Chains A and B, each alone.
Chain A
Amino acid sequence: MTRISRRGVLLGSLAVPMLGMVRLAWAQSGEVTISHYFTGELGLKAFNEQVAKFTEATGVAMKDSPVGHEDFKTDILVRAAGNSLPDVFSYWAGARVQFIVDSSALHPIDEMWAANGLDAVIAKPVADSATLYNGKRYLVPFNYHYAGMFYNVKVLADAGMTAPPATWDEFLALCETLKGKGVAPIALGSKNRWPAQFWFDYLLLRTAGPDYRAKLMAGEAKYSDPEVGAALAMWKDLFDKGYFVENANADDWTDASDKVARGEAAMTLMGTWITGYWNGNGLVPGQDYDFFEFPRVADGVPNAAVGPVDGLVIAANAANVAGAEQFLSFMVSDAGVQAAWANAQGALSANVNVDPTIYNVVMQKAAATVAAADAFAFNYDLSTPPPVAEVGLSMFTRFIDDPSQAEAILAQVATDAEAAFKE
């Protein structure tokens, strides 16, 4: 009979965790670790295909750990707190990147940027707004999105729309016509809060202008200002007139998109990722769906476009900085990768070498709309620091639940936001 020796048991109990550590160390050599939120309807398959192109071109292996979009916001913080950030991760340009740059958690990429001539590759407006933090570059824009009023072509044609509403009055008239026909004019799925933010963004940008909004986002203006009150009053007016679908807080953005696709609602204010979702469901761009710009409201206010920039960043303590920089440069510079990724995800590329004709008709229009805009603003939760964004996002759902409480809600938010800016 084989006897198990004491020494054997002790050595065994030590060897098992040691083996794990050796395996970890071996796994880390040479390869680049990455975590990202491009999952499910946001294009995991297409992302992996682009990563495979990088590995094929450079021989550098990538070890990825995708996390669902909403869960990623938590997951990356857990990994940061545990000092185990991956070498590369996807992140949203704007206040969130600023937050982690201020926390010294990112690796600056100025040298890589210059060495690879990225100034000549990335559109200047996006480069200026999304990549520079405290005077240094930290992010490459992997793609960007634009938020517009996406609609069901047939429903709006049935309502007699021949040209998109250019003014607020025309927009209200269109909503009234739709309502008269028994169609909910506007779908909104604010269960996860963020889909509501585009309404606040555009109403504030179209009435108070981009400069005032930038001040509000930075804590230099207050939520008790008349500008914010006026924007919320306009939003309330739409609810009072019954233009929004019922129970918006019970739906997710895909539920709202489905309502528009099925013709139960006419339009939804959403980012261009909706095109990826709809295309995946067999809808034809330009034929089944299209979009128009959020209507102008006040004269003399610069025309701003709203949207997020999905970026790739390198952790300050990345184990494989050289490989990570190589990855960032390749993913943003390679026009083939950028074109395939943008098309698969329903996004726009910031790479100037990407031929605009690769986009479908709707995305071509979106690219032209952003190019013609006076300003590009990140959406609410990417424009203001995370503790404040939490206050604002909850404000939107509370307002949607009971718009008649708008004034009381704003008074509370003014106090809470002021405290959150001090965090």
Chain B
Amino acid sequence: MEQHNRFWRIAFLILPLAVFGLFVVWPLFSSFYYSFTNWNGFDPDYRFVGFDNFAKIATDRLFLQAAINTTIWMAAAIVLPTALGLMLALLLDSRVAGARVFKSIFYLPICLSAVIVGQIWTWIYQPDWGLLNTVIAQVTGDKFNYPWLAKPDSALWSVIVAWSWQQTGLSMVIYLAGLTAIPGDLLEVCEIEGASPWQRFRRVVLPLLAPSTVVVVALSVINSLKGFDILYIMTGGGPFNSSDTLAMHMYNESFKKYLMGYGSAISVVLFLIALAIIGLYFRQLRKVDRIYG
């Protein structure tokens, strides 16, 4: 019987493993391989250049800019949806009128693809007739046509706002689930003991939401690492590379400058960064499991 089960396990794993190997493992190792070459994507006669591509990274001005932007992007992508999601969850958990409708409305953006969200926000930011500038002009009474996505100072932050708008619903739902798991009598005890709402939140609710926070933060990190499409749609890394992230920089070097070898080296660095972050996440997850599991 055991042998019979083993056979079926292997049989059902063949196809997914083949797909995973073909589309994940093989390209990964290919990137490692090409990062040591000067391949341009077309030419079969490329040569090995050792660590030249990695040495170039150290002196690449645009890589540095992209690394700074990636740090800002990730920090904001973790903090904003997490904080906003928690706030919304607390508000909607306190039995406000129409909470179910609001929950659906706030969750809706996560159902949209990043491309659609990017397009919606591109229209909102449109300088001449976009919603944002129209509202500002109505409020101030002056003509206002600031090009949010075309200025280096505001392009990245404008995309971060759009990203947070989409991701907040997900954090909210996870926190709402976490809140229902908090025993009602515990909160009652707090009230009887005379704890203020802030003390109740800070000392009881927030610590008990720790497992939810780990999930929310982990999802935010993973999603932000994948956050290429919305940037591509809204700014394409522009204007003049000012909103480039490492993923965007890798794309530009590989596909616009035809420097596949160098682009692969950037992807290797990006992979190592992602690996370190995911390693930290798993360590944290184990810690939470030990405490609550």
Contacts and interface: CB of A to CB of B under 8 A. Distances in A.
B40 A103 contact: yes
Contact of A386 (B44, B251, B256): B256
Interface stretch (A71-79, A198-206, A209-217): A71-79
Contacts of B100: none
A360 to B, nearest CB: 31
Nearest to B235: A191
A105 B258 contact: no
B interface SS class: loop
B124 to A, nearest CB: 13
Contacts of A355: none
Nearest to B148: A250
B88 interface: no
Nearest to B46: A103
B127 A247 contact: yes
B255 A397 contact: no
B11 A13 contact: yes
Given A390-B256, A401-B239, A249 B44 contact: no
Q: What's the interface size class on B, roughly?
A: 20 to 34
Contacts of B236: 192
Interface stretch (B149-157, B167-175, B177-185, B278-286): B149-157
Nearest to B241: A394
B36 to A, nearest CB: 16
Contacts of A397: 238-240
B11 A9 contact: yes
Contact of B255 (A74, A192, A250, A398): A74
Contacts of A390: 252, 256-257
Given A77-B42, A104-B44, A401-B240, A246 B145 contact: yes
A81 interface: yes
A10 interface: yes
Nearest to A394: B240
Given A74-B255, A401-B150, A401-B152, 5 more contacts: A103-B42, A191-B150, A387-B259, A394-B240, A401-B240
Interface of B: 7-8, 11, 14-15, 40-45, 126-128, 145, 147, 149-152, 236, 238-241, 251-252, 254-260
18 contacts: A6-B7, A10-B14, A77-B42, A81-B260, A103-B40, A104-B42, A104-B43, A105-B42, A105-B43, A246-B127, A246-B145, A247-B128, A249-B147, A250-B150, A386-B256, A386-B257, A401-B150, A423-B257
Which 10 pairs from chain A and chain B are nearest by CB? Answer: A103-B42, A103-B43, A250-B147, A250-B150, A249-B150, A398-B240, A247-B147, A387-B257, A105-B42, A74-B255
